[in-house]
Amino acid sequence: MAVLAVAVIAAAATVVYVVRSTPQYRIAFLVDTSDAQRDFGALADSVGAAVRNAGDGDALSLRRFGGDCGDSGNTEELVGSGRGNGQRIGEAAHTLTPGGKATLNSGLLAAIDDFSGRYPFRGSKRNRIVVVTTQGTDGCGGDPAALNKRVRDRMDALGLQLEFRFVGYRVPAADQEVLTRLASAVKAAAPQFPQDAAELNAVLEKLVVPTLPEAKPVEVPSQEVSVTACSRTGTPLEGTPAPPPPSVRLPSRLTVPAGAQVYAADPKTYLMAPAGKTCTLVFYDSAVYRQVHVGDTPLDFEGFGVGLMEDVVTSVALDCSDFGKTAPELLKYLDGDPDATESTCKAQDTGKTVNLPTGVPGLYVGTIRESVGTDVKGYLRLLNFRGDRPVTSRLICLLPKEQADICTASLVYYFLQQAAGTNISTADRDRVTAAIEAYVKSLP
């Protein structure tokens, strides 16, 4: 009995120790110390300020990456996870000297491994890796898609549920796409790209202090807005659709930007575009299912305006170019195509589409980056298998830079229409919406 009593007391003490030692939040900073740094002093200052503002009970750690490719020393944990680490992390960050290549992939894999052991204890509410870099890519080269897969596979193999947040400090617009792809691959929020020390301080503080909300769309009651029906040309393939209603209720959080209005192709398809333009809906008897254009010159996709092209899935050459590596359903609908094999479809994928996982089976969304000088060209690709037959669509918004908010609203609105009626979670909806907003903001 005495031995049993001692065992019970020991077990109870262990439980109390574990409960008291388990933080609610565990946050690991992964900091870029490569030699291509842009103002590393400001980066170190911001990291130090952020950790000093963290909660007393939060467990914090610091790891760096940067060095020679293939060298085991190109990433290193400088401060292990623990409570009350703010001062140690701040001091360690300021002792770092940039050098070597940006070994981002090595740093990510090591940071994931830091969470794999039973001790230090993982957070009971949140386990997050905050990556702060001035590069958009891994400096050691390699296929970004393959590197992203290694990160996902490492998490799956360890059975970890981790949040990632990516902060690209002063990363040039041309280099932001790869980092955006990485964030999408691990189902993280879209990266944030602060351009000065003040913005960086604000971003890191929101990512570290649990009581401060991260940047999210403001909750706005849904609005009922009037719509302008598009004129129609040609014969539709499957009967004449019903005319659109005179008004439509926008999805929550979506508003019509100044100088814009809603145009209706049919009762289910609406486009956000500059007000006072000509909207034309054209049906084709050939491969193209239909085309909608809002602008000064109807059907001219090179002029300013918003254009939508929709088609059914028909061939490997056309339909694997954007989602050949991410949409296994494609092969099911391409049985009549002699080239419809998994390897051919994947090889056809150009890699230009940044896939934004929706969390909805059969709904694929991606963005494409094209240079059009000083104008904004938002390019959204979608592949939807949810109807009777799969539909591939592309929405292009080409407007002057001062109307970038209209392009953002256009792309977000179209995505939300495609996701309507699905079981998409609020988190996935907000993540894709944020990624689209960040994509338009990053366009040159």
Q: Region 299-317: what's the mean pLDDT?
A: 77
Structural domain includes residue 408:
yes
> What integer best gives the mean pLDDT of the chain?
82
- Among candidate residues 183, 208, 233, the one where a domain is terminated: 208
Joined tokens for residue 84: 């009350």
Which residue range is the domain that position 28 belongs to? 21-208
* pLDDT for 206: 83
Structural domain includes residue 326:
no
Structural domain includes residue 380:
yes
Structural domain includes residue 195:
yes
Beta bridge partners of 233: 282
Question: pLDDT tens digits, residue range 119-147?
Answer: 788 888 889 999 999 888 888 887 777 88
* pLDDT for 371: 64
Judge contact between 134 and 38, C-beta under 8 A: yes
* Spatial distance between the Cα atoms of 279 and 155, rounded to a whole number of angstroms: 48
Instruction: Check whether residue 114 and residue 169 sit in a common domain.
Output: yes
Q: Which of 186-195, 347-356, 413-422 has the lowest mean pLDDT?
A: 186-195
Q: Does 245 sit behind a cis peptide bond, omega within 30 degrees of 0 on the bond before it? A: no
Host H or E run for residue 219: none
Instruction: Check whether residue 204 and residue 262 sit in a common domain.
Output: no
* Spatial distance between the Cα atoms of 76 and 112, rounded to a whole number of angstroms: 13
Instruction: Check whether residue 76 and residue 186 sit in a common domain.
Output: yes
pLDDT above 70 for 176: yes
* pLDDT for 151: 86
Instruction: Check whether residue 39 and residue 118 sit in a common domain.
Output: yes
Structural domain includes residue 342:
no
Q: Region 380-392: what's the mean pLDDT?
A: 85
Instruction: Check whether residue 280 and residue 376 sit in a common domain.
Output: yes
Q: How far apart are the first and last CA of the chain?
A: 76
Instruction: Check whether residue 272 and residue 167 sit in a common domain.
Output: no
* pLDDT for 372: 62
Question: pLDDT tens digits, residue range 43-58?
Answer: 888 888 888 877 778 8
Structural domain includes residue 13:
no
Structural domain includes residue 382:
yes
Q: pLDDT tier at 297 (50, 70, 90 boundaries)?
A: low
Judge contact between 116 and 83, C-beta under 8 A: no
Instruction: Check whether residue 67 and residue 93 sit in a common domain.
Output: yes
Structural domain includes residue 336:
no
Question: pLDDT tens digits, residue range 236-284?
Answer: 666 677 888 999 999 888 999 999 999 999 898 999 999 999 999 888 7
* Spatial distance between the Cα atoms of 46 and 199, rounded to a whole number of angstroms: 10
Nearest CA-CA partner of 318 in 298, 308, 398, 309: 309
Instruction: Check whether residue 238 and residue 189 sit in a common domain.
Output: no
- Among candidate residues 174, 208, 242, the one where a domain is terminated: 208
Instruction: Check whether residue 249 and residue 188 sit in a common domain.
Output: no
CATH for 200: 3.40.50.410
pLDDT above 90 for 12: no
- What's phi and psi for 396, nearest 5 deg? -115, 130
- Among candidate residues 177, 208, 239, the one where a domain is terminated: 208
* Spatial distance between the Cα atoms of 399 and 407, rounded to a whole number of angstroms: 7
Judge contact between 91 and 123, C-beta under 8 A: no
Instruction: Check whether residue 81 and residue 154 sit in a common domain.
Output: yes
Share of the chain residues as helix, strand and coil, in percent rounded to the nearest 5: 35, 25, 40
Instruction: Check whether residue 184 and residue 303 sit in a common domain.
Output: no
Total domains in the chain come to: 2
* Residue 97: partners with Cβ closer than 8 Å, 6 or more residues away: 33
* Spatial distance between the Cα atoms of 71 and 69, rounded to a whole number of angstroms: 6
Instruction: Check whether residue 73 and residue 152 sit in a common domain.
Output: yes
